[in-house]
Amino acid sequence: MDYKKTAGEVMNLLGGKENVTSNAACMTRLRVGIRNMGLVRLEELKHVEGVLGVVESDTLQIVFGPGKVNRVLEEFSKLSNLETVTVEENSAGQLAKANKEAQKIKYDKPVQRFLKRIANIFVPLLPGIIAAGIINGLSNVINVSSSGALSGMWWYECVRTMGWALFAYLPLLVGMNAAKEFGGSAVLGAIAGAMSITNPSMPLLSMFEEEPVLLPFTEKVFNPASGGLLAALIAGIFFAFLEKNIRKKMPSMLDTFFTPLFTVILGGLVALLVLQPVGAGLTTVIYAALNFVYNQMGILGGFILSVGFLPLVTVGLHQALTPIHAMLNDPAGATEGINYLLPILMMAGGGQVGAGLALYVKTKNKKLKQLTRDSLPVGILGIGEPMMYAVTLPLGKPFVTACLGAGLGGILAALFHLGTVSQGVSGLFGLLIVVPGTQGYYLISMLGAYLGGFLATYFFGVNEERINEVYGQK
């Protein structure tokens, strides 16, 4: 990258040095004071080589990323003839936030934006999934270990009902959130999701003259569970699309009555005949793929999944896994509520912790030592963003060695056949959600991820020259 050329292009697109009142830099952004925003060509500015994004705030903030921004500032200040200022971001949390924003801008593509919306559908449901998953997991252990000694006690069955209820009606909630996220009426999305709830009282499942209702084409009885959460998700999105398009054509005086009516009738027929089979097919494919990686590939599959997870996170593709985790934690699903994917993926955070430890031990850079010291405690507890976005990812090579080192934890997690009964936490907090009785194996696997990340980074991931380039020589 030609920093002098980039600085010149930026200055030109900002309206020249007469339009610049100040220039400064933080860890990722060139912050420029602008006299007249009308002279700034924002769209062209976004396409200058090295520019990851532009943010309008009290100053115009041009995102270049760690390391590069200081070199751009050096050349830019020569053109502006203004004093250079470096805005300190000493907190690992602040730096991680800034780097995460830069990464988000860099990979803000249609696929990532769509997957983010899918994640938005499930995130509000996590408190219920966490609570219900833990209830179901613990009650199963209690029933087996006590030979059902508590069965029939009103308070125990009340608690079990809470665990059962969430997953029994989860498709309704998924459909509701899906319609809302994509601009439709939440209640119509709930109706769409209700098509995936198995209830003997459903008219489609009723008997008429001792004969079941058969669907066209297949001549089979409708199975609401076959499409599962994916059918509810797709149906909720479709209902939102259908509602918005019907409303465009519906006269305003009839809109209140006929838009929801036509949406439900037409959407219901499409959901039954098309979307349910599509959801069922996708569910089968996903379970088959996971089964192949987990059972057929064994420890190799565990290694690949744990190594590849954080690269997915950096580009936003990890959000595609959100509905899959919910499916795996469903007691009525193929895995009977045991999520065997999540423990393997949690090892990725362990690799980052190990890498941070190696950097702290080996580097002489005081700022990096401070950042790793700030990031390690929360990383151990499962909050990996400070370590990843403030330390390993900006440096590059430690991020790679951290991911590779995490593979040791993934191998152990696959070898021990670890599973979780819920989701929502990671790190050492993962001990709360793994299948009861396997906490020791989980701890061994996480320690393996720490060790793998430490050794790979200590011997192959520390480059003091690169560290000083990114964080300054302190």
Active site residue 26: yes
- pLDDT attached to residue 68: 83
The confidence band for 390, taking pLDDT boundaries of 50, 70 and 90, is confident
Please write the tens of the pLDDT for every residue from 200-229: 899 999 999 899 999 999 999 999 989 999
What is the average per-residue pLDDT within 171-184?
A: 97
- pLDDT attached to residue 404: 98
Lowest mean pLDDT among 85-94, 139-148, 358-367: 85-94
- pLDDT attached to residue 12: 95
Query: Which comes out higher in pLDDT, residue 66 or 6?
Result: 6
Is the pLDDT reported for residue 87 higher than 90?
no
Q: Which of 7, 10, 14, 26 is catalytic?
A: 26
What does the mean pLDDT of the chain come to? 91
Cβ atoms 229, 170 nearer than 8 A: yes
Query: Which comes out higher in pLDDT, residue 329 or 100?
Result: 329
The confidence band for 474, taking pLDDT boundaries of 50, 70 and 90, is low
Q: What is the pTM of this model?
A: 0.82
The confidence band for 69, taking pLDDT boundaries of 50, 70 and 90, is confident
- pLDDT attached to residue 337: 93
Please write the tens of the pLDDT for every residue from 70-80: 889 999 999 99
- pLDDT attached to residue 427: 94
- pLDDT attached to residue 86: 58
